[in-house]
């Protein structure tokens, strides 16, 4: 018989996290994902914040995989 994580009293010991406490982390990771999306989709393509071709070379396959215009 498989053992359950829930104890005999019915409490799991896991406290739920409120949406208010989670909101700053959701915003942080949302901004992080937008920055990543910018670097994969547009940096050294449509726009360039960093000179050279280094970023383009690193994200080139991802850019094609995600269907962003490249060359």
- Identified binder of Zn ion from the candidate list 23, 26, 31, 70, rule CB under 5 A: 70
Contact between 71 and Zn ion per CB under 5 A:
yes
What is the C-alpha to C-alpha distance for residues 60 and 24, in angstroms, rounded to an integer?
31
The sign one gets for the Cα dihedral 50, 54, 59, 60 is positive
Report the nearest approach of Zn ion to the CB of residue 56 (Å). 8
Contact characters 39-68, Zn ion, x per CB under 5 A: ------------------------------
- Enumerate the β-bridge partners of residue 47: 43
């Amino acid at each position: 018989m498989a053992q359950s994580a829930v104890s005999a009293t019915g409490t799991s010991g896991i406290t739920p996290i409120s949406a208010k406490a989670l909101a700053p982390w959701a915003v942080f990771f949302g901004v992080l994902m937008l920055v990543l999306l910018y670097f994969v989709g547009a940096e050294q393509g449509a726009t360039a914040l960093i000179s050279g071709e280094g970023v383009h070379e690193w994200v080139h396959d991802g850019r094609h995989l995600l269907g962003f215009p490249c060359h």
